[in-house]
C-alpha cells in the first residue's frame, strides 16, 4: 500500500533529533542576531558555491534517472534554476562580501562539502529518483524553513544585520516556491514507488543527509577545511 502525502513532514518527524540540530545550529542562530563572525560567513559562502556546483550535477543525474518525460522536464527545471538563477545570485552575494569568481573557483572543497555532495551523488547513482530527492531535501526544503523562521524574528531583517540578504533571499517568495515544489515532488514520487516497508530506508537517507547539513554549518562556524 502506498504511503499518504506530506512525505517531507514524515521524514523530518522521523529524524527530529538530527533536524533540530541542523535547523537550530549555532551558525543559524548567530545569523539571526547578526553575531556570526564575518570570516565564518565568508568561508561558508565559498563552500556553498562549490556545493551548488555539485547540486547542479545532482539535478543532471535526476534527468537521467527520470522514468518519464515529466520527470526529466522537472529535473531540467531544477538544473536551470541552479545554473541560470541561483548561481548568479550566489556570485552576486559573494561579491558583496569581497569574494571574486576567481576566489570561488580556486578554493579547495572542505571535507564537509565533499562529504555531503558526494553522499547525494552516490545515493542518486545507486538508488532511484526518490532516493535522490530525499537526499536533496534537507538542503532544498531546509533552507526555506530555516530562513522563514529567522525572518520572523525581531531584528533579523534590520539594516544593521549583515546577514539580512541571505535570510531575505531564502525566506522570499521565489525560494519558498522552490521548496514547495520540492515537497510536491517528494509526494509525487512517493505515490509511485514508496511502500511502508521502504520507508525506513529513506528515513536513513534523510537522517544522514541532515547530519551532513549540520556538519556543513559547523564547517563554516569553525573555518574547517
pLDDT in tens, 40-51: 999 999 999 999
For residues 50 and 106, what is the distance between their CA atoms, to the nearest angstrom?
10
For residues 139 and 34, what is the distance between their CA atoms, to the nearest angstrom?
22
> Quick one: what percent of the chain has pLDDT higher than 70?
98
pLDDT tens for residues 117-170? 999 999 999 999 999 999 999 999 999 999 999 999 999 999 999 999 999 999
Name every residue whose Cβ is closer than 8 Å to that of residue 161 and which is 6 or more positions away in sequence: 33, 34, 155, 167
Classify 197 as helix, strand or coil: coil
Under 8 Å between Cβ of 138 and 210: yes
Alpha carbon separation from 158 to 39, 86, 154, 162, 179 (Å, rounded): 21, 23, 8, 9, 24
Under 8 Å between Cβ of 120 and 136: yes
H or E segment and range at residue 22: helix 16-23
CA torsion through residues 157, 161, 162, 167, sign: negative
CATH number of 7-220: 1.20.910.10
> Which sequence positions are flagged as catalytic?
139, 213
For residues 99 and 76, what is the distance between their CA atoms, to the nearest angstrom?
29
Cell of 29: 542562530
Is pLDDT above 80 for 2? no
For residues 181 and 160, what is the distance between their CA atoms, to the nearest angstrom?
33
CA 20 remoteness from chain centre: 15
Is pLDDT above 90 for 72? yes
Under 8 Å between Cβ of 127 and 194: no
CA 49 remoteness from chain centre: 12
pTM of the model: 0.95
Q: What residue ranges do the domains of the chain occupy?
A: 7-220
pLDDT tens for residues 179-223? 999 999 999 999 999 999 999 999 999 999 999 999 999 999 999
Is pLDDT above 80 for 109? yes
Amino acid at each position: 500500500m502506498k504511503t499518504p502525502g506530506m512525505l517531507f513532514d514524515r521524514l523530518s518527524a522521523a529524524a527530529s533529533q538530527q533536524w533540530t540540530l541542523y535547523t537550530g545550529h549555532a551558525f543559524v542562530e548567530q545569523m539571526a542576531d547578526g553575531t556570526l563572525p564575518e570570516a565564518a560567513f565568508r568561508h561558508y559562502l565559498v563552500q556553498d558555491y562549490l556545493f551548488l556546483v555539485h547540486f547542479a550535477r545532482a539535478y543532471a543525474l535526476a534527468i537521467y534517472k527520470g522514468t518519464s518525460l515529466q520527470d526529466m522536464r522537472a529535473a531540467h527545471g531544477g538544473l536551470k534554476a541552479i545554473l541560470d538563477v541561483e548561481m548568479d545570485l550566489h556570485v552576486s552575494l559573494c561579491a558583496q562580501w569581497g569574494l571574486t569568481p576567481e576566489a570561488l573557483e580556486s578554493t579547495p572543497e572542505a571535507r564537509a562539502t565533499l562529504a555531503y555532495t558526494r553522499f547525494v551523488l552516490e545515493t542518486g547513482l545507486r538508488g532511484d529518483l526518490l532516493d535522490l530527492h530525499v537526499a536533496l531535501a534537507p538542503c532544498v526544503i531546509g533552507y526555506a524553513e530555516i530562513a522563514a523562521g529567522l525572518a520572523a524574528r525581531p531584528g533579523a531583517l534590520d539594516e544593521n544585520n549583515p546577514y539580512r540578504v541571505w535570510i531575505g533571499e531564502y525566506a522570499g517568495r521565489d525560494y519558498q516556491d522552490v521548496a514547495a515544489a520540492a515537497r510536491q515532488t517528494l509526494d509525487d514520487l512517493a505515490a509511485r514507488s514508496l511502500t511502508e516497508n521502504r520507508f525506513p530506508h529513506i528515513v536513513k537517507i534523510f537522517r544522514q543527509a541532515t547530519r551532513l547539513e549540520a556538519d556543513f554549518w559547523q564547517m563554516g562556524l569553525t573555518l574547517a577545511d
